[in-house]
A and B are shown apart, each in its own frame.
Chain A
Amino acid sequence: MKVENLAISYNGMTVFSDLNVELEKGKIMSLVGPSGCGKTTFLRCISGLTSPTSGTIQLNGCDITKTKPEERPVVLMFQQPLLFPHMTILQNVTYGLKYGKRKLKKKEREEKGLAILEKVDLGSHGERYPHQLSGGQQQRVALARALIVNPDLLLLDEPFSSLDPSLRSSIRLWVKDFLKNEGVTALFVTHDREEAMIIGDEIAVMKDGSFQQTGAPEEVYQNPKSSTVAEMFSEGVHFEESFLPANQLTIRPVSNLKVSDTETIRAVIQYKVYKYGHSFYHLHVPSLKQNVVVSSSQLFNDGDHVDLTYLRSSVQPFHNEQSTIYFTDKARQSR
């Protein structure tokens, strides 16, 4: 998939003006960005439901910018389940196999439908109607309905947003396996950084109508190219021109002691959580108006004022050119 110079505006209001992105066949890209930045609009453009103002969309080398949505080998799963209320769950799931190009015989269709319902843990609900299902169950049906079609390109708009955490983690692993086995190229929108990393081979951070950075998850996470990306996707604090990863920070009780090569910022402990057997402090840095999470084995109380210290060399200046690899090496050497 390749998108070039894509632009769209509604009644003169530009949502995005110049989007460029490329995704290799069989890869999954996670799209993250603040609410209202145009993620859904972007997916709608690719699926053909909204026409872009300008720009081109290519799939497997063919220009599909002007192709009708039903003729594109692309399926969009919407943010809302949008199950057809007058059809049973099984009829909903097999919709894409009943109409259009991917038509199958009734028996085949139902077999496939039941199999995929089994996979999303709803095997016994085939005869029910959507209103008899909970929000999370409906979302899983919508997911099954999109997956069953097995398109060349699958667009998922926050597919797991209304699932509880345990179901969420099992379903997303299953979805990733499914997509990989079938070799489906996918674009996946999420608000959850962890989820973006688990599912995506690549991460794209979107803000203000453009892609701020695209790249492998660890690359984007460790080397954000701008303060926006740092805020959206990385963990740490960011200054005007540089980023400081959270793992380079140490919490110390407030003191005026100066150690050479280190810097100090003031912070307030907000609260503490235990995770993976460690304690993590959520801190607020008033001077930067930022929050950061730092692990520490020392004991602090909520509301304590503390110092966050770090080595001056661990600060990474933002690089706007495509030279993140070089930058990573340099950062490592200096440590």
Chain B
Amino acid sequence: MFSNKAHKFRPYLFLLPGLIIVACLVGYGLFSAIVESLSTPENEGDFYYYIELWQNNTFLQALGISIWVAAVSTVISILVGLYLTRTMVRLFRKDHWKFLAWLPMLIPHFVAAYLVFLLFSPSGWVSSMFYQLGWIGSIGEFPVMVNDPFYLGVIFTYIWKEIPFVILMLLPVYQEMDLRYEDVSRTLGGSKWTVFKTVEFPWVWPVSIEVFLILFVFILGAFEVPALLGVTYPKMLPVLAYDWFYQAAWVNRPLAQAMMVCLSIVSLFAAILILTFSRRWRKKWTVRREEI
């Protein structure tokens, strides 16, 4: 009994130095942010900056565009990643093609954003090529896809950066799936779509939700891509926070801190959700798989 317990805690012991450093740094940062955001100017009530924040139009616009970007990029990445994974798993028995998905993963987001800028900006390569080919009369006719108010450039960057992530997350799940259920479905009259709906989807959707939450929260809080490819108004949340933080006279600093605290809370909830979710799912399927 005792040795069993000791075994269980040993890995955590090894992690302890790292955990302490992370906890101290993040904890201190978060702590000072909370303290600063909870401070109140004279003659104002509690949570002043939070109330201020949620009534601030610039913030609400930023929130809107952030959610739009995060939702669209995540959903498209997952759909495309899911499609590619299920095709690849059927095409190749082995996963030697996995390195193809690893390659884009190795490129930093900033570099990816810069590539998108080089390619799609009004004076970029694609635009020049179209002009050379005579498809557009002047470079100015090329649709604005970078630094545009709908953040298409940002969305595009995230999509091609996150698809490989989706694939690498879904691949092991697909490889573990029992493909014989596909045969059962087909012989009972199920089409390929029925197979997806009744065999694959129930199997992969918990992991897909996990991936969705991870990507969504990540994009919500990521700075470099919108900083490079975004527009001045509306800004995405992290860019706005940076702005407020370094503005002259530091007047908006507590607002920026309040925003970061809110984002942290959302991330925390997402993490808890992910953990409970995946644990419950794993328990359910392992029980059932053992018995069948």
Contacts and interface: CB of A to CB of B under 8 A. Distances in A.
Do chains A and B interact in one complex? Answer: yes
Interface of A: 44, 47-49, 68-70, 74-76, 78, 80-87, 95-96, 99-102, 129-131, 138, 145-146, 149
A311 B287 CA distance: 61
A80 B291 CA distance: 12
B189 A96 contact: yes
Contacts of B190: 70, 95, 99-100
A74 B187 contact: yes
Contacts of B183: 44, 49, 69, 76, 78
Contact of B292 (A68, A70, A96, A130): A130
Given A85-B288, A85-B292, A130-B292, A99 B187 contact: no
B189 A82 contact: no
Nearest to A91: B198
B288 A129 contact: yes
B187 A75 contact: yes
B288 A100 contact: no
B86 to A, nearest CB: 18
B189 A81 contact: no
Contact of B189 (A49, A70, A85, A138): A70
Nearest to A80: B180
Interface residues on B, range: 20 to 34
Contacts of B285: 85
A149 B188 CA distance: 7
B40 to A, nearest CB: 52
A47 B292 contact: no
B189 A149 contact: yes
A44 B198 CA distance: 21
Given A47-B187, A70-B189, A76-B187, 16 more contacts: A44-B183, A48-B186, A69-B183, A69-B186, A70-B191, A75-B188, A78-B183, A84-B199, A95-B185, A95-B190, A99-B198, A100-B188, A100-B189, A100-B191, A101-B189, A131-B290
20 contacts: A47-B187, A49-B187, A70-B187, A70-B190, A75-B187, A76-B183, A78-B183, A80-B180, A82-B292, A84-B184, A85-B292, A95-B185, A95-B188, A100-B188, A100-B190, A130-B288, A131-B287, A131-B288, A131-B290, A146-B188
B289 interface: yes
A69 B185 CA distance: 10
The 9 closest A-B pairs by CB, nearest first: A100-B189, A96-B188, A85-B288, A131-B291, A131-B288, A69-B186, A99-B194, A76-B187, A99-B190
Contact of A145 (B188, B202, B287): B188
Dominant SS among interface residues on chain B: helix
Nearest to B180: A82
A85 B226 CA distance: 44
Nearest to B197: A99
A35 to B, nearest CB: 19
Q: Which of B188, B199, B202 has the most CB of A within 10 A?
A: B188
B181 A82 contact: yes
B186 A49 contact: yes
A303 to B, nearest CB: 44
A102 B191 CA distance: 12
Interface in B232-266: none
Interface in B170-219: 178, 180-181, 183-191, 194, 198-199, 202
A48 B187 CA distance: 8
Given A78-B180, A84-B199, A138 B292 contact: yes
B184 A82 contact: yes
B189 to A, nearest CB: 3
B194 A100 contact: yes
Contacts of A49: 183, 186-187
Nearest to A138: B292
Given A84-B198, A84-B199, A78 B288 contact: no
A207 B279 CA distance: 48
Nearest to A129: B288
Contacts of A74: 187
A165 B140 CA distance: 83
A68 B186 CA distance: 9
Given A84-B198, A86-B202, A70 B186 contact: yes
Contacts of A78: 180, 183-184
Interface string B32-76: 000000000000000000000000000000000000000000000
A80 to B, nearest CB: 8
B188 A99 contact: yes
Nearest to A68: B186
Contacts of B289: 85
A47 B199 CA distance: 19
Contacts of B290: 131
Nearest to B291: A131
Given A78-B180, A131-B287, A83 B187 contact: no
B288 A102 contact: no
Contacts of B181: 82, 84
